[in-house]
Every structure is written in structure tokens, then in C-alpha cells.
């Protein structure tokens, strides 16, 4: 799995904003369609609540009218006269609350279900992408699409339906009742409000920009913390705690400055808008009062007008906030949808497979040329040909960076060759089912085995999901792992820690071998499988590998030449080509690159381990 892990990614920097993907409406519609019925119900309830809200100011005005009457002349019973109006109002309040409850419940139901669907679909499609996709992307960014972006999209969606619908209806409804109450006052309002809204929107967009910068700065700080905590062993080993603290502190300081600036901006905005709203109330009262004085308007109508115009203003303020949310939601949604439609060049499954009894496990590279997709101008393999005869051990040696791991990647079909082809039993790998190839034919053991943070049992079973406990034990025995596993108090149920952090290198490697052997692979690739181990664990692991190698087609990649002497054939690679081939003795006699490598290693190795 860890074959092609990219080099240490730098901490998450801000995303390049130039390449913002476009929002995919068709795909969004597909996710929305299953919820249309519920959405319809939510819309109806939200509209209902908004219409009730439009009614309320009118009734309040009538109530004020009654109150005013009783302040003038105290005849009759106020309670009796206002009772029906008050009950009506109470009923409307109740209805409004109920409708609000209803549409919020429905919306949260839609939002959460859609978020689950989105996450599942995105995760599923991300896992299907080519290895070259992961070479070019940072894991942190992919994870944030699954978490933050889906979250943001969901809350924008909910807000747009609830607030947006409600605010629009309220604006429209209240404007109608306003103009019925007093055309003059309404016209005045229609001039003042948009002017104020314009100023507000300008300030709002400046604040939004500031808020985005603030978020980016927070993300940078998080990136620093994430990297330091995730690589705590390296930080400790280099005694870099102080420097990491300073780095994190500097980023935090930056985000504090931005956040305070944002806070001041918001405070200014709030203060100014309070003044504006209050002035509007005063202005309405003043102009309306003079109309009342001139008998052109009743006091009750003025009250209704005040309440309704407040509703309009609040709704319009909401709408302008909402606009920013829509922009953010759309770009989050676009990021979520972007990788959902991306289809990989190498599918996970599909193609033919050979029945197990007919599978011989003979591999051949025919004039393969290859350069990594993310580095197209840099050929790693050139006209490379190699045959792995069934049941035989072939060793591949050569300088570091010479392309040995790349050969293994092509065999696993992590990439397709740029030219030439790789065959299994004479069949081009591209015609074979990749899942079958990786899951049942090829066992791969790399230098840095990656385990999952679960039990030993589950880690071994990762090689074959439906393996019985007996099969797991057998594979562990074959990999020399059974003894150390049962020596743990929890045995096979021991949790190995994140990435197997609680095990030694040799133990991890033996679990990785058990995991590869449990699928009974016909072909085994050992990519520097023992080179990270000390000589004692190397001996135990090598013993397991020797046992596992019998009867299989094996490709041993090694730079420590002492481990490849027993191979049936040794292939020496240089400059992306095969430059020598033969047994240990033949190659020594030839006196070429191999004997040169042997001579050089013999100089570094203590005499007892020297290969000659």
C-alpha cells in the first residue's frame, strides 16, 4: 500500500484560488432528487411561516388602535373588545412557532442525509482514483473536502432554504401591506432602505474578504500544528520543539491580528447599522406622525407600518448576509463535486481473470518505457525487458533511484507503462481485472510496511477479508509472527496503534508478510523488505521470506547484495535498463557492474558478513 507514498508534504498552504472548480448543478440535482418530497413540504411550511409573519404587524396595529381608543375615552370593556384579536394573535404566534419547528426539522433531515450521501460518494470515488492522482494531491486537502467543505455546503443549503425563502416572502408580503397602509411612507422607505442596504453590502463584502483571509490564516496555523504533532518523533529527534512552538506561535499571532481586525470591522458595522435602523424608526415616526396629525393615517396603522418596515429591514439584512453564504456554499459545493466526477484511468475492477489452477505466475516486461505522470519529461524506465519465470526467484539490484520500485509499481498496475507492455502468463496486464491481480495474484511487501490502527487479527485479515481465524494463524506461523503475537497479553486482539507505532520494525514486517501470504499469492514482490531491519530481525524475517518464496514467482528487490545470492537469477539495472543478468557466480566472473557493486559493499561490511 505504501509503495508510492509521496514525499513529506509541506504544511497546508492556502489553496490556489485561480483554479476554483465550477459548481456542478446536474450532480447536485441527483443528490437532491431523493429528498424532493420532503423539500417541498419544508418549502410550504417555510412559506406558511413567512406569511403568518406578514399578518402579525397588521393585527398588532389593530390592537394598538384599540389601546389608543381606550387612552382617549374610557368607556366599554377593553378586555372584551380586544379578546378576539388577542386570541387571534396568540394563535398566529403558536402557528408560526409550529411551522418554524416543522420546516427546520425537515431541513435538517434533508441536510444531514444529503451530507452523508455526499461524503460517501466522494470517499468512494476518491478511493478509486489512480495512484498518480494521489502523487499530486495532499491528503489533508482531500480530507478537508470530505469534512469542512461538505459541512459548509450543507449549512449554506439549509440557510438558503430557511432564511432565504422566509426573508424573500417577508419582504414581498410586508411591502404589499406597507403600500396598502400608506403609499407615501412606503415610497419614502423604498428610497432610504436600498441606499442603506447598498452601503451595508459594500461593508459586508469587505468584511467577508477579511473573514476569508482570517480562515486561511487559521488553516495555516492548523497546518503547522498538524505537521508537528503528526511527525512528533522527528520533531523530538531533532529537538525542534522550540522552533515548532515559535512557528505555531507566529502563525497564531498572524491569525489573532486578522481576527481582531475582523472583530473591529464587525463592531463598526453593527454600530453603524444600529444607528441606521434607529434613525429609520425615528424618521418613520416623524413623517408618519405628521401624517397622523394631518388625519391622513391612524395611529394603529402607523404602528403596523413600523413593525412591518422593521420586518422588511431585518429580512433584507438577512438576505445580504445570505448572499455571502451562498457564494461560500457554492464554492464549497464545487470542491465537493469536483472529484466526484473524476474517473480514474485504471479502473479498480473489470477485465478477465485466470482460474487459479491454470495460473502459472510467469511475468514478463516487454520493452517497457515509463515516466511518472507528474514528471512526464523524466524517463525512469527505457526499453526495459525482464522475465520472471514461474516458481523462480529473480533479484533486481541497482543503484538507489534507479527505478526498481517503479518496476514493482508497474507490476501492481499502479501505473500503466508509457510504451511496451507487462504480461502475466502471456496476457497483457491491461486486459486483466486489477482487483483480481492485486487481491489474489500478487503479494507485495515493501520496506516500510503500513499497518492500520486496529487489531493484529484485522490487520492480517486485510489481505483476505473472508479469511477464517485458522487461516490467519496459519499465515502468521508462516511469517514467523505467531510466537511474538501470542506472547502479547491480548494476543491477536492487540491493537497495533496508529500505523503500527507500538510494534518494532521486524514485528511490523512479519505482520505485513502474514498479510501478504494469507491471500496465497502466486507472485511475491519483496521491495527491500529487510533493509530497514537490524541484523537479528533481518534473520527472522529472511527466514520467513525464504519459506514463503518456495514454489512462487518471486521478485526480490534489494540493495544489500548479501540477500540476493540465492536467487536463481540476478538482474542488474542502470539508467532504467537491464544492463547485466546471470547468477551470482556468472556475474562475478564477468567483472561488470555487479562485481563492482559487490566490491564496494564488501568495503563497508564487516568481514563476517561480507558476501565473499
Q: Does 384 bind ligand ADP (CB under 6 A)?
A: no
255 vs 405, which CB is nearer to Mg ion?
405
Binding mask 2-41 for ligand ADP (x = CB under 6 A): --x-------------------------------------
Among 154, 328, 404, 464, binds ligand ADP (CB under 6 A): 404
SS3 of residue 306 by DSSP: helix
Considering the complex, what minimum distance in angstroms separates the CB of residue 577 from Mg ion? 17
Calpha distance 345→131 (Å, rounded): 10
Instruction: State which of residues 23, 31, 103, 372 lies at the interface with ligand ADP (CB under 6 A).
Output: 372
Looking at beta carbons only, is 265 or 373 nearer to ligand ADP? 373
Of the candidates 407, 444, 439, 434, the residue with the CA atom closest to the CA atom of residue 422: 407
Does the footprint of ligand ADP cover residue 406 (CB under 6 A)? yes
- Burial letters for 107-138: b for 16+ Cβ neighbours within 10 Å, e otherwise? beebbeebbebbbebbeeebebbbbbbbbebb
Residue span 529-568 as binding mask against ligand ADP, x where in contact by CB under 6 A, dash where not: ----------------------------------------
Handedness of CA 273, 274, 275, 281 (dihedral sign): positive
Torsion over CA: 118, 120, 124, 127 (sign)? positive
Could you say whether residue 402 binds ligand ADP (CB under 6 A)? Answer: yes
Q: Which residue lies nearer to ligand ADP by CB, 267 or 374?
A: 374
Residue facing Mg ion at closest CB distance: 405
In this complex, which beta carbon is closest to Mg ion, that of residue 284 or of residue 405? 405
| Smallest separation, CB 160 to ligand ADP (Å) | 42
Q: Which is nearer to ligand ADP, 217 or 405 (CB)?
A: 405
Size of the site for ligand ADP (CB under 6 A): 13
Residue with smaller CB distance to ligand ADP, 136 or 195: 136
The H helix count followed by the E strand count for the chain is: 20, 10
Binding flag, residue 405, ligand ADP (CB under 6 A): yes
Q: Given the rule CB under 6 A, which of 12-20, 139-147, 396-404, 491-499 is the region that contacts ligand ADP?
A: 396-404
- List the one residue from 33, 120, 356, 375 that touches ligand ADP (CB under 6 A): 375
Residue 56 or 532 with smaller CB distance to ligand ADP: 532
Give the span between the Cα atoms of 19 and 33, in whole angstroms: 29
- Please identify, among the stretches 203-211, 231-239, 264-272, 402-410, the one whose residues bind ligand ADP according to the rule CB under 6 A: 402-410
Interface with ligand ADP, residue 417, by CB under 6 A: no
Nearer to ligand ADP, 2 or 267 (CB): 2
CB of 528 to Mg ion, least distance (A): 6
Q: Is 294 in the site for ligand ADP (CB under 6 A)?
A: no
- Residues 58, 298, 53: CA angle, nearest 5 degrees: 10
Q: How far is the CB of 467 from ligand ADP (least distance, A)?
A: 30
For ligand ADP, the closer of residues 204 and 403 by Cβ is 403
Q: Which residues bind Mg ion (CB under 5 A)?
A: 405
C-alpha cell at 566: 540465492
Task: List phi, psi (to 5°) of 19.
Answer: -95, 30
- Taking the C-alpha atoms of residue 121 and residue 339, their distance in angstroms, rounded to an integer, is 10
Residue 406 near which of ligand ADP, Mg ion, none (CB within 5-8 Å, type-dependent): ligand ADP
Distance in Å, CB of 448 to Mg ion, minimum: 10
Q: How far is the CB of 379 from Mg ion (least distance, A)?
A: 17
Q: Which residues contact 258 (CB under 8 A, 6 or more apart)?
A: 210, 213, 214, 217
CA 312 to chain centre: 40
Find the part of the chain contacting ligand ADP (CB under 6 A) among 399-407, 494-502, 561-569, 587-595: 399-407
In 3D space, the residue among 292, 47, 56, 305 whose CA is nearest the CA of residue 180 turns out to be 305
Smallest separation (angstroms) from ligand ADP to the CB of 449: 16
The grid coordinates listed for 211 are: 473573514
Shortest separation between residue 402's beta carbon and ligand ADP, angstroms: 4
Task: State the binding partner of 414 from Mg ion, ligand ADP, none, CB within 5 to 8 A by kind.
Answer: none
Q: Does residue 380 touch ligand ADP according to CB under 6 A? A: yes
| Separation between Cα atoms, residue 610 and residue 603, nearest integer Å | 8
Helix ranges (DSSP H) in 73-149 = 78-127, 131-136, 139-144
Q: By C-beta, is 301 or 527 nearer to Mg ion?
A: 527
- What phi and psi, each to the nearest 5 degrees, are found at residue 11? -60, 155
Taking the CA atoms of residue 42, residue 45, residue 46 and residue 48 in that order, the dihedral angle to the nearest 10 degrees is 160
Maximum distance among all Cα pairs of the chain, rounded to whole angstroms? 127
| CB nearer to Mg ion: pick between 523 and 526 | 526
Which of residues 327, 374, 501, 610 is near ligand ADP by CB under 6 A?
Answer: 374
By C-beta, is 418 or 455 nearer to ligand ADP?
A: 418
Which own/partner contact pairs does 143-146 have at CB distance under 8 Å and 24+ positions apart?
144/12, 145/335, 145/336, 145/338, 145/339, 146/119, 146/122
52 Cβ neighbours under 8 A, 6+ residues apart: 92, 95, 96, 99
Q: Cα 467 to chain center, whole Å?
A: 31
**Nearest-angstrom CA–CA distance, 572 and 596:** 11
Q: Which three cell numbers stand for residue 575?
A: 539508467
Which listed option, ligand ADP, Mg ion, none, makes contact with residue 380 (CB within 5 to 8 Å by class)? ligand ADP
In the complex, the smallest distance separating the C-beta of residue 528 from ligand ADP, rounded to whole angstroms, is 8
Cell reading at 249? 506561535
Grid coordinates representing 133 are 492522482
Considering the complex, state which of residue 50 and residue 380 has its C-beta at the smaller distance from Mg ion.
380
The residues facing 578 across adjacent strands are 573
Write out the binding residues for ligand ADP, residues 80-139 only, by CB under 6 A.
135
Residue 229 CB, nearest distance to ligand ADP (Å)?
26
Order of strands across the sheet with 427-428? Answer: 379-388, 363-371, 419-424, 427-428
| Residue 84, contacted partner among Mg ion, ligand ADP, none, CB below 5-8 A by kind | none
Q: Where does this chain bind ligand ADP (CB under 6 A)?
A: 4, 135, 372, 374-375, 380, 400-406
Amino acid at each position: 500500500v505504501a509503495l508510492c507514498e509521496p514525499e513529506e508534504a509541506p504544511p497546508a498552504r492556502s489553496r490556489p484560488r485561480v483554479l476554483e472548480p465550477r459548481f456542478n448543478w446536474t450532480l447536485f440535482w441527483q443528490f437532491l432528487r431523493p429528498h424532493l418530497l420532503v423539500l417541498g413540504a419544508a418549502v410550504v411550511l417555510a412559506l406558511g411561516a413567512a406569511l403568518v409573519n406578514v399578518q402579525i404587524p397588521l393585527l398588532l396595529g389593530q390592537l394598538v388602535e384599540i389601546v389608543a381608543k381606550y387612552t382617549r375615552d374610557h368607556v366599554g370593556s377593553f378586555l372584551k373588545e380586544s379578546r378576539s384579536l388577542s386570541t387571534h394573535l396568540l394563535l398566529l404566534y403558536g402557528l408560526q412557532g409550529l411551522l418554524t419547528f416543522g420546516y427546520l426539522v425537515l431541513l435538517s433531515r434533508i441536510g444531514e442525509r444529503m451530507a452523508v450521501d455526499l461524503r460517501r460518494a466522494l470517499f468512494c470515488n476518491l478511493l478509486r482514483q489512480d495512484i498518480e492522482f494521489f502523487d499530486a494531491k495532499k491528503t489533508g486537502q482531500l480530507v478537508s473536502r470530505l469534512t469542512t467543505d461538505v459541512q459548509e455546503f450543507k449549512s449554506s443549503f439549509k440557510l438558503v432554504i430557511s432564511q432565504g425563502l422566509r426573508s424573500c416572502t417577508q419582504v414581498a408580503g410586508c411591502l404589499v401591506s406597507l403600500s396598502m397602509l400608506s403609499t407615501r411612507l412606503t415610497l419614502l422607505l423604498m428610497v432610504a432602505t436600498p441606499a442603506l442596504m447598498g452601503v451595508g453590502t459594500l461593508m459586508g463584502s469587505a468584511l467577508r474578504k477579511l473573514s476569508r483571509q482570517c480562515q486561511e490564516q487559521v488553516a495555516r496555523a492548523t497546518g503547522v500544528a498538524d505537521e508537528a504533532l503528526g511527525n512528533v518523533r522527528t520533531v523530538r529527534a531533532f529537538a525542534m520543539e522550540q522552533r515548532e512552538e515559535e512557528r505555531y506561535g507566529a502563525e497564531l499571532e498572524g491569525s489573532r491580528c486578522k481576527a481582531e481586525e475582523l472583530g473591529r470591522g464587525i463592531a463598526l458595522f453593527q454600530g453603524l447599522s444600529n444607528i441606521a435602523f434607529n434613525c429609520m424608526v425615528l424618521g418613520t415616526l416623524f413623517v408618519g406622525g405628521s401624517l397622523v396629525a394631518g388625519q391622513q393615517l391612524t395611529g394603529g396603522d402607523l404602528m403596523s407600518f413600523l413593525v412591518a418596515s422593521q420586518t422588511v429591514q431585518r429580512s433584507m439584512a438577512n438576505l445580504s448576509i445570505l448572499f455571502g453564504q451562498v457564494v461560500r456554499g457554492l464554492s464549497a459545493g464545487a470542491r465537493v463535486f469536483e472529484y466526484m466526477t473524476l474517473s480514474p484511468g485504471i479502473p479498480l475492477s473489470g477485465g478477465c481473470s485466470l482460474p487459479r489452477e491454470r495460473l502459472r505466475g510467469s511475468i514478463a516486461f516487454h520493452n517497457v518505457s515509463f515516466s511518472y505522470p507528474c514528471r512526464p519529461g523524466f524517463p525512469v524506465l527505457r526499453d526495459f525487458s525482464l522475465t520472471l519465470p514461474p516458481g523462480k526467484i529473480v533479484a533486481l539490484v541497482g543503484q538507489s533511484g534507479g527505478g526498481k520500485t517503479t518496476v514493482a509499481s508497474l507490476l501492481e498496475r499502479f501505473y500503466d507503462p508509457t510504451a511496451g507492455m507487462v504480461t502475466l502468463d502471456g496476457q497483457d496486464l491491461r486486459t486483466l481485472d486489477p482487483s483480481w491481480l492485486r487481491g489474489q495474484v500478487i503479494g507485495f511487501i515493501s520496506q516500510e510496511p503500513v499497518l492500520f490502527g486496529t487489531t493484529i487479527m484485522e490487520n492480517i485479515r486485510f489481505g483476505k477479508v473472508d479469511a477464517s481465524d485458522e487461516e490467519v494463524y496459519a499465515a502468521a506461523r508462516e511469517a514467523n509472527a505467531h510466537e511474538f503475537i501470542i506472547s502479547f497479553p491480548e494476543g491477536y486482539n492487540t491493537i497495533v496503534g496508529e500505523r503500527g507505532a507500538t510494534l518494532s520494525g521486524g514485528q511490523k514486517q512479519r505482520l505485513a508478510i502474514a498479510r501478504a501470504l494469507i491471500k496465497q499469492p502466486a507472485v511475491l514482490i519483496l521491495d527491500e523488505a529487510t533493509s530497514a531491519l537490524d541484523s537479528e530481525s533481518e534473520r527472522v524475517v529472511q527466514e520467513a521470506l525464504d519459506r514463503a518464496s518456495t514454489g512462487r514467482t518471486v521478485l526480490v528487490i534489494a540493495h544489500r547484495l548479501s540477500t540476493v545470492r540465492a536467487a536463481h537469477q540476478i538482474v542488474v539495472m542502470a539508467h532504467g535498463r537491464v544492463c547485466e543478468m546471470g547468477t551470482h557466480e556468472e556475474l562475478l566472473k564477468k567483472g561488470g557492474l555487479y562485481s563492482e557493486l559487490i566490491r564496494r559493499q564488501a568495503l563497508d561490511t564487516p568481514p563476517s558478513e561480507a558476501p565473499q
